[in-house]
Amino acid sequence: MYYYHLLVLWKEISSCAKGNLQGLMTEEWRSILGNTYWKSMWPRPNPGDVGSSNFDPAQFWIKGGPLFFGDKSSAKVASGLDMSSVLFCHFEVEIDVADDIEV
């Protein structure tokens, strides 16, 4: 999952490295590259049930995330702007492709 998130968010991660977004601490990066942070951005279908979720791991970023994208970009992402990166071969990143060592 970590490598999949890295590939999908590559453009934005590069932007972070150039100083265009705030710096993040190790724990913040860990939650962003895993599902922890993204799951917290998704609304719960049943707010009283902590275990309920409609989270989609294949499109984890679509509800935005101000910690990673910043406030303005996060609002754009949540309203439909696709921030996902593509592979160098111009194909979309897929979960099963990210696990392929040939890629």
Residue 17 vs residue 69, higher pLDDT: 69
pLDDT exceeds 80 at position 74: yes
Domains held by the chain: number? 1
3-state secondary structure of 72: helix
Query: What is the pLDDT of the chain when averaged over all its residues?
Result: 80
Specify if 49 maps to a domain: no
Predicted TM-score (pTM) of the model is 0.74
Contact 79, 73 (CB under 8 A): no
Specify if 71 maps to a domain: yes
CA distance linking residue 10 with residue 86, whole number of Å: 8
Specify if 63 maps to a domain: yes
Specify if 103 maps to a domain: no
Structural domain including 11 reads 2-40+57-98
Specify if 67 maps to a domain: yes
Specify if 20 maps to a domain: yes
Q: Tokens at residue 17, please?
A: 């490295």
CA distance linking residue 102 with residue 36, whole number of Å: 28
Specify if 47 maps to a domain: no
CA distance linking residue 33 with residue 19, whole number of Å: 19
pLDDT digits (tens, 9 = 90+) for 42-55: 987 777 776 667 88
Specify if 48 maps to a domain: no
